[in-house]
Amino acid sequence: MSRKIEAYVEEILKSIAEIESFIIGMAFAQYAQDAKTKAAVERKLLNIGEALNQAGQISEEIEKKVTDFRKIIGFRNILVHGYFGVDDALVWDIVSTKLARLKSDVESL
């Protein structure tokens, strides 16, 4: 694995760990009312999407190995450009049910 890809992998894993620490012990209702946590989580999801996009441009294998690769990058674009606002329930679903799979996929790169 190239050093650049290693750096992107480290950024993704660091962002996942930070998201996990931000939401530990939280329920959706708490998350939806906590503007600081929402902003922090969204920023880390943006970082994940950008790092994944950059790594995918270096190696096509990454797209094959990461579940929902295109969806993750697409969601990054929603966060950046604010298409139709950000759905708190969707963000919560991602961080509470999909991050573990992403973490596993990225750790196996």
Domain boundaries, the chain: 3-107
Mean pLDDT of the chain: 96
* Alpha-carbon span 69 to 91, nearest angstrom: 16
Tens digit of pLDDT for each residue in 60-79? 999 999 999 999 999 999 99
- Structure confidence at residue 82 as a pLDDT band (50, 70, 90): confident
Is a pLDDT exceeding 80 seen at residue 49? yes
- The pLDDT assigned to 90 comes to 96
- The pLDDT assigned to 46 comes to 98
* Alpha-carbon span 100 to 109, nearest angstrom: 15
pTM metric for this prediction: 0.94
* Alpha-carbon span 43 to 27, nearest angstrom: 19
- The pLDDT assigned to 84 comes to 72
Share of the chain above pLDDT 90, in %: 93
| Residue bearing the bigger pLDDT, 84 or 6 | 6
